[in-house]
Amino acid sequence: MGLDEVEALASVRLMEAGATRLQAKPVARSIRLAERDGVRSHGFMYLPIYAEHLACGKVDGKAEPEMSRPRAAAVVVDAAHGFAHPAIDLGFPTLVEAARSSGIAAMTLRRSYNCGILGHHAERLAEAGMIGLCFTHAPASIAPAGAKLPVIGTNPFALAVPDEHGGARFVLDQSASVVAKSEVILRARRGESIPEGWALDARGNPTTDPDAALKGSMLPSGGAKGFGVGLLVEVLASVLSGAVASRDASPFSGPAGGPPATGQCFIAIDPAAYALGFTTRLAALAEAIEGQDGARLPGARRRAARERTSVEGVELDADLARRLGLR
């Protein structure tokens, strides 16, 4: 299946489930990009969940986001319980313009939803010539070190830096947990176990059972330091944006609860506002990493997946094809 077919199918299924074109198109594009980069956990796998959430009201498929600009370098978007993607699209041009004018600007979203692969939004800022620093929180799934009750979500952050050719030199995209929760959901669906060190069960014991993990908590990457990264994201994406706290947000999977009402924060920095020679110094930094045997820049695997997908296309396994109504 080609990427155009991926996007078209996703768009049709979302609109069949009740999304307007305004809501469906940016989400379909995000599914296309996830499949392009080989991140299946955020691609077609999520489409049935999106459709379910449109049907049960966790996402308002007819929402119309609203943007305000309370200060010169501050952009605020209310996603109105719709998908995050159209709300991001609404505020993105203003965010970039504000960063070019002020040197740095930030955009927050509230009453939002899962924004897909965070690194794609950071990369988009890099393509506009900005350093993109992005944060999104999620329903609580990580407990503080030494505790059992989840307080923060997997809370990813992403950094993308521009190159001199209108692209991103590299994209760093990682969650506060050892692995994204969607990877556990994927293995639960396939009936596969998860590696030790990914999660704890509801009693706080290590588990390799993905279903037990989904009822328990994800382990933070690096222990207390990983929880600290997640806490930083919580402050920017939830507290600063005025979104619901991770501990009060409904799950991104399953029909339980109302709209998650989570939030995001996007920071755009124009390197030209600070010092000359940014791309030269960045290239030297990248070379110090890539020049070593066995080392690679963040995002290298996704770039390799893009090249494979451009040749091989996207292949669906039988179960996912059935869930999408293709078999």
Residues 6+ apart with CB under 8 A from 110: 76, 77, 78, 79, 241, 242, 243, 261, 263
On whether residue 234 sits in a domain, the answer given is: yes
Strands 262-269 and 206-207: unpaired
CATH number for position 114: 3.30.1370.60
On whether residue 59 sits in a domain, the answer given is: yes
* Residues belonging to the active site: 41-42, 183
Total domains, the chain: 1
pLDDT tens digits, residue range 153-203? 999 999 999 999 999 999 999 998 888 777 888 888 788 999 888 888 888
Question: Any idea how long the chain is?
Answer: 327
On whether residue 305 sits in a domain, the answer given is: yes
On whether residue 26 sits in a domain, the answer given is: yes
On whether residue 37 sits in a domain, the answer given is: yes
154 three-class SS: coil
pLDDT of residue 327: 62
- Indicate the pLDDT class of residue 325, thresholds 50, 70 and 90: confident
| Beta-sheet strand order (sheet of 131-136) | 66-71, 74-78, 104-112, 262-269, 131-136, 157-162, 168-174
Within 13 A of 288's CA, how many CA atoms are on the CB side? Answer: 6
pLDDT of residue 116: 94
On whether residue 127 sits in a domain, the answer given is: yes
**Contact, 156 vs 136, CB < 8 A?**
yes
pLDDT of residue 67: 98
pLDDT of residue 205: 84
On whether residue 215 sits in a domain, the answer given is: no
Rounded distance between C-alpha atoms, residue 206 and residue 193, angstroms: 13
On whether residue 313 sits in a domain, the answer given is: yes
Residue range(s) defining the domain that contains residue 21: 3-177+220-287+299-323
pLDDT tens digits, residue range 58-77? 999 999 999 999 999 999 99
Least confident of 14-18, 52-56, 108-112, 148-152: 148-152
- Burial class, 209, CB count within 10 angstroms (exposed 0-12 / middle 13-18 / buried 19+): middle
pLDDT tens digits, residue range 200-259? 888 888 899 998 888 888 888 888 889 999 999 999 999 999 999 999 999 888 888 899
- Dihedrals phi, psi of 263, to nearest 5 degrees: -145, 170
